[in-house]
Structure 1
Amino acid sequence: MRIVIAPDSFKECLAADQVASALARGWAKAAPRDEIIEVPLADGGEGTTVALTEALQGELHSVTVTGPMGEPVVARYGLANNSDTAIIEVAEGSGLHCVPPDERNALSASSYGTGELMLEALAHKPKVLIMGLGGSATTDGGAGILQALGAKLLDKEGNSIPAGGIGLGKLASLDLQPALDALGNTRLVVACDVNNPLTGPNGAAVVFGPQKGASIQQLIKLDANLAHFARLAKKQGWDISSFPGSGAAGGIGGMVAGILGAQLRPGIELVMETVELESHIKTADLVITAEGAIDNQSAYGKTPAGVALMAKKYGVPVVGFAGMLGQDFSALQTQGLTAAFSITRGPMELQSAYAQAEANLEQCAEQLARLTHALSKGD
């Protein structure tokens, strides 16, 4: 049999290549003669830089940038095609995983480090800069990125506004030309995994703020500050809020598209295209995908949905594994997912689930291989 393993990462637990390797080891235990193809994926969040750089046979570079709470963090960017293509992701410089849960502060978390990462990549003068948006700790509308690129975001006294979404409330004037000059002639392509608007009940703050440490009162403040930013930008002719995806990564989606002129693309589609997943799936007997959670949101631009839709095109069955399985993923099954299973063996603390994830993935893949081959013998 020909088995294609195409998972995403398990957020804050395992990288996509680790998930793929665990599943491959498990399958090989039960069916060592099968052909197993590992294709780690990402949908714009954690792992996008590695997945795309490796797919393009490029090189990863590590630099130290300013983390979301002001601390130094080591972030990676990729270069490929003789440095004509650069790859970065928000999760590397401004990711939620960079901040311990008890230290998360949605009001002051800044995207400044992502701007620094962009500058490092832009120093190589790439023709195209691919940027993944998922996994951010920030809700600052990309203000930190703009400041790192040289833009002036000033308060009424002419001082730079404070870091984070809280600073947007003090914003009185914008000089964005230095950021545009920093981008130069590089074309910006952005991998985005959500369609949320910038503000409102489905906006960046209200939907994603809680996981970044925001209280209800803080969500209201952040939403108002993002709206204030959008109004000031609009007065200067910049639209950062009227289109789907403007709320991605705490509003970075709106900023990069509306101000920096980025092309927003569904993250999973961009990654699948780059790694040439279709060429592997069309001749597969079975596809295995995986993500930290499979639920009613998975059908909307997430990795399992992208994989399922592509496999459905060729009539190939798809099995999904997840650390947590939601009560309703029927939309995903309509898209082509054959079945989904949780890898956890029973009720346990989150940290225990993280610690056992690799072994559990391996065990589940082994059991699936045993079942698959037993059923195929009965045909």
Structure 2
Amino acid sequence: MRVLVAPDKFAGTLSAPEAARAIARGWARTSPDDEVVRLPMADGGPGFVDALHDALGGRLHVVPVRGSTGAEVPVTLLVVDDVAYLESAQACGLQLGPPAARTASTWGVGEAVRAAVELGVSSVVVGLGGSATNDGGAGLLGALGATADRPLDAGPDGLRGVTSVDLAAARQVVEGVDLVAASDVDVPLLGLFGATKTFGPQKGLDEADLLEVDGLLDAWVDAVCGPTPAQRRVADAPGAGAAGGLGLGLLLLGADRRPGVAVVAEAVGLDVACADADLVVSGEGSYDHTSRSGKVVHGVAQVAGRHARPCVAIAGRVTVGAREMRAMGVESAYAMLDLVGEERSFADPSGALADVAERVARTWSR
């Protein structure tokens, strides 16, 4: 039996390659004769570059940039042939410090994009997800040369009163380069289902902040796009709200927005791997209602379904009901917290994941 193991990271505990190895190790205890193929995945958020490097190889370049809170941080650029990949979370991710979305900036992402362009590549793919920022892409644009009548490097608070923005210099920097915004979600920038309302709380915004920051970004859209509905339409595009509006910044530079999981799937050959497998096993830290909107398990299950291959998932926690799960193409999902407990899951995540995979193999291996 050929088993394809294609998980995402388990945020805060295991990278996608580490998760894939743990699942494969546990599976082999029950079914040593199965052929287990590891194919770590990512959705554009943290681990995007690691997953691609694990599958594609390529050259790594580390560049120092300004992090979301102003301190210098390293960002890794992966160059494969003439395509550069980077993940925004390395420059402005939640892991860099306490959430401070009102002042956190995406400036460092712009510096990383500039560095990638200067390597002479023909395409730059920016993974969007896991950000601590909510500045509508202002910092990114400013680092690439955009100017405005308000500072672009001070988060949404710095945009208060903005009325005019000039993107000409930023667009010149990326002229002739294909930009791809590889996002882990498809949310717009503004409104009830936008970036601020949906993800602001995890970035430190309370209820009063949510309304005020969304208002600041609404004025930012008027300034950077124009006031008419037709001009503002780009802010409503799927993915414009990814990474707190980094999606909008890239779209304004002419980027093509694609789901991050689809970018990784194409790069690592997920379609062929699923076709060659008898069973597909995916996984992520939390399998919940957000998984449908661009996350790895849903993306992997969709590809497996096209080849009529069953897909099962292992996650830290599972809050999706059986009916919704099957609607997303997943036959069964197994929660580490339920099967081995919270203490073990966090104290020994690799061992705990291997133990759960061993149990899953007893059910699904021939």
TM-score when normalising by structure 1 = 0.90
Q: CA distance change for structure 1 residues 26 and 151 in 2, over 3 Å: closer, same or farther? A: same
Which of residues 258, 265, 272 is equivalent to 1:265? Answer: 258
- How many Å separate the matches in 2 of 1:371 and 1:154? 62
Distance apart, 1:346 and its partner CA: 5.8
Determine helix, strand or coil for the equivalent of 1:323.
strand
Letter in 2 for 1:185: G
Q: Does 1:356 align with 2:348?
A: yes
Determine helix, strand or coil for the equivalent of 1:222.
helix
> Residue 74 of structure 1 corresponds to which residue in structure 2?
74
Which of residues 237, 241, 246 is equivalent to 2:240? Answer: 246
Contact 2:28 2:34 survives alignment (8 Å): yes
> Residue 2 of structure 1 corresponds to which residue in structure 2?
2
> Residue 305 of structure 1 corresponds to which residue in structure 2?
298
The answer for unaligned runs of 5 or more in structure 2 is none
Letter in 1 for 2:108: G
Distance apart, 1:315 and its partner CA: 2.0
Percent identity of equivalent pairs: 38
Letter in 2 for 1:215: D
Q: Does 1:39 align with 2:31?
A: no
Q: Does 1:233 align with 2:224?
A: yes
| Residue correspondence of structure 1 range 164-313 to structure 2 within 5 A | 164-235=155-226, 240-257=234-251, 259-313=252-306
Determine helix, strand or coil for the equivalent of 1:11.
coil
- How many Å separate the matches in 2 of 1:151 and 1:106? 21
Contact 1:233 1:239 survives alignment (8 Å): no
Which of residues 108, 112, 122 is equivalent to 2:107? Answer: 112
Q: CA distance change for structure 1 residues 329 and 115 in 2, over 3 Å: closer, same or farther? A: farther
> Residue 86 of structure 2 corresponds to which residue in structure 1?
88
Q: Does 1:339 align with 2:337?
A: no
- Write out per-residue CA displacement over residues 109-150 of structure 1, whole angstroms, 9 at most, x where no aligned residue: 111111111121111121111111111110001111111112
Q: Does 1:135 align with 2:126?
A: no
Contact 2:88 2:126 survives alignment (8 Å): yes
Of stretches 337-346 and 85-94 in structure 1, the one that deviates more from structure 2 is: 337-346
- How many Å separate the matches in 2 of 1:240 and 1:232? 13
- Write out per-residue CA displacement over residues 269-322 of structure 1, whole angstroms, 9 at most, x where no aligned residue: 121111111111112121110011112221222111111111122222211011
Q: CA distance change for structure 1 residues 283 and 136 in 2, over 3 Å: closer, same or farther? A: same
Of stretches 231-240 and 333-342 in structure 1, the one that deviates more from structure 2 is: 231-240
Determine helix, strand or coil for the equivalent of 2:210.
helix
- How many Å separate the matches in 2 of 1:55 and 1:346? 30
- How many Å separate the matches in 1 of 2:169 and 2:289? 42
> Residue 149 of structure 2 corresponds to which residue in structure 1?
154
- Write out per-residue CA displacement over residues 34-63 of structure 1, whole angstroms, 9 at most, x where no aligned residue: 211100001111111222234333122222
Q: CA distance change for structure 1 residues 147 and 361 in 2, over 3 Å: closer, same or farther? A: same
Contact 2:138 2:153 survives alignment (8 Å): no
Contact 1:91 1:134 survives alignment (8 Å): yes
Contact 1:296 1:329 survives alignment (8 Å): no
- How many Å separate the matches in 1 of 2:341 and 2:360? 22
Letter in 2 for 1:250: G
Q: What is the aligned length? A: 362
Distance apart, 1:215 and its partner CA: 1.1
Distance apart, 1:239 and its partner CA: 5.1
Determine helix, strand or coil for the equivalent of 1:27.
helix
Distance apart, 1:162 and its partner CA: 5.2
Q: CA distance change for structure 1 residues 330 and 64 in 2, over 3 Å: closer, same or farther? A: farther
TM-score when normalising by structure 2 = 0.93
- Write out per-residue CA displacement over residues 129-186 of structure 1, whole angstroms, 9 at most, x where no aligned residue: 111111111000111111111211223xxxx355111112232321211111111211
- How many Å separate the matches in 1 of 2:244 and 2:153? 16
- How many Å separate the matches in 2 of 1:61 and 1:29? 38
Q: CA RMSD in A?
A: 1.8
The answer for unaligned runs of 5 or more in structure 1 is none
